[in-house]
Homo-oligomer: A and B are copies of this chain.
Amino acid sequence: MRILVANPNTTAAVTERMLAVGRAAAAVGTELVGHTAPRGVPYVSSRAEAQIAGAVLLETLAETATGFDAVIVAAFGDPGLFAARELFDVPVVGYSEAALLTALMLGRRFSVVTFAQALEPWYAETIEAHGLAGRSAGVRCADRSFSSIEAVGAEMEDHLVELARRAVEEDGADVVVLGGAPLAGLAGRVKHRIPVPCVDAMVAAVKQAEAIATLAPVAPTAGRFARPRGKPSSGLPPALADRIAGR
């Protein structure tokens, strides 16, 4: 089983970290292939950046997503997820989607804990977009600066644990999702310091990708994710233009 880990951020080190965490969680026979966005921002943290990153993701998938059994949109917030699900035949799962769905099995209400205030509105809208607001206890964000996106998980470890505990005590969370691609692997390190189950989004993403790849679903020809009919375009990268044209 081959799974594409498509990072819509431009930071290769984060892709590497996700791959390392993902490979440790993958089943025997699951191969993870990483891809880092060729343009955009180092880490997406707003709706405007997600709008752009999602469009770049479509270009990426048009160019690279053949020969895979599933694709992971490897950024919390799932930029371009529904568009990709509509446009490509391969099953696609979102990084936050996977984490939130997995969290549902571990408690009644989940909280997302992450490393930057700017992420709150986008993450909150992501939860709403998945129709899961009724099971959310909210998003808790760190309120301090960090030296680099690669180091943020290590630097903030204690602070994020503290936020997770407050999500449990003050917000009523039954399960905590550590959100944001740079935090991949953190949940495993800190889970014994938090009094409720803790979900690592990358682990969840790999297992959910394996789940949908195992089902090997047909590409829909009806419903809300049926492939749109081919259409001309102008000014788009050739592979994406071809895909939109239905070629």
What residues of chain A have their CB less than 8 Å away from a CB belonging to chain B? Answer: 10, 25, 27-29, 38-42, 45-52, 54-56, 58, 80, 82-84, 86-87, 91, 93, 97-98, 101-102, 104-109, 118, 120-121, 124-125, 129-132, 134-135, 168-169, 172-175, 187, 191-192, 194-200, 203-204, 207-208, 210-212, 214-215, 217-218, 220-226, 228-229, 231-236, 240, 244
Do the beta carbons of B25 and A214 come within 8 Å of each other? yes
Which of chain B's residues have a CB closer than 8 A to the CB of A174?
220, 223-225
Report the copy number of this chain in the oligomer.
6
**Given the contacts A28-B27, A174-B224, A51 and B49 also touching, CB distance less than 8 Å:** no
Which of chain B's residues have a CB closer than 8 A to the CB of A98?
105
Which of chain B's residues have a CB closer than 8 A to the CB of A125?
82, 108
Do the beta carbons of A223 and B48 come within 8 Å of each other? no
Which of chain B's residues have a CB closer than 8 A to the CB of A135?
131
What distance in Å separates the Cβ of A69 from its nearest Cβ neighbour in chain B?
13
Do the beta carbons of B197 and A215 come within 8 Å of each other? yes
Which of chain B's residues have a CB closer than 8 A to the CB of A225?
106-108, 121, 174, 196
Do the beta carbons of B108 and A42 come within 8 Å of each other? no
